[in-house]
Each structure stands twice: as C-alpha cells, then as structure tokens.
Amino acid sequence: MKYLVLAYGHERDWKALTKRERDELLLQDEVLRDRGDLVAALAETATTVRAWEGPPLACAGPFSVSLLPLAGFGIIEAADLDEAIRLVAKTPCARARGAVELRPIAVMNLPDWSVSGSGERPSTPGTP
C-alpha cells in the first residue's frame, strides 16, 4: 500500500538541533530514498488556487492553517499502517518537535479507483 507522508515542523526547531543530531535524523530520509520512496522538502511559500466559477483565483498562502508549517512530503510503500508508522517514526519532523501525517493513497489510475487495492472507492467532492 502506498502512503502520502505529510511532514510538519518549524525550521527553528530543526536549527536548534546540533549538526550531529540533524545528520542522524537525515539518515532515515536516506533509508526511505534507498528503498525507492519519494522524500521531498518544501519551500515556505505556498499559493492556493480556486476555480469554482469563472477564471482561477490564486491567493498567496496555504489553503489550510496548521499549528506547524508543512515542511515536506513523501510517498512511501508499506505493507500496512504499522509498517508505515515504523518507517516515518525516525524521520526529522517526527523527532524534531514536528509531526508526520500518513494518508493511504487512492490510486486514481486503477480501473476501480480503489484505495491501493482495498476495493473501497474514495469519496470525491461532488460525486455520489
């Protein structure tokens, strides 16, 4: 099963760690990359786009407000949620006063749009 990994954390908490601590935490990102998983850090800027009626409207800033800024994302492969938790528990945001959110990915290119083969169809706004 594939999981979307959303990593939240303040840069100030990252910078408060020693270089050795940061290097140790980055090793887990390297473990994920070596497995073929996607790991990405994000810039602090965001643009939100809405195109409900008429031309698109682009606004500076994130769509959702969080206690911690979104610092990165990834896509990992795991047998189940327990394995996914084990894989991300040692990543930088999980350990450096941040948080990591895991979401099963709905694989949209499968004929039945199932959530990674579970047979459960994801809900899409505006569809029954």
User: Taking the domains of the chain in order of start, what are their residue ranges?
Assistant: 2-46+55-104
At residue 128, does pLDDT exceed 50? no
Q: Count Cα atoms within 13 angstroms, Cβ side, for 106.
A: 11
Banded pLDDT at 110 (limits 50, 70, 90): low
Q: What is the chain's alpha carbon radius of gyration, rounded to the nearest angstrom? A: 17
- Mean local confidence (pLDDT), 87-114: 84
CATH of 2-46+55-104, one of 3.30.70.1060, 3.30.70.560, 3.40.1390.30, 3.30.465.10: 3.30.70.1060
Q: What's the pLDDT at 126?
A: 44
Whole-number Cα distances in Å, 42 to 20, 52, 61, 115, 127: 22, 27, 13, 26, 31
What does the alpha-carbon distance between residue 57 and residue 23 come to, in Å, rounded to a whole number? 41
Percent of the chain whose predicted confidence (pLDDT) is above 90: 72
Higher pLDDT, 113 or 35: 35
For 75, the token pair is 């896509």
- Dump strand ranges (E) for 1-128: 2-8, 38-41, 47-50, 57-60, 70-77, 99-104
- Write the DSSP symbol of residue 64: S
Residues 23-60 pLDDT 10s:
999 999 999 999 999 999 998 889 999 999 999 999 99
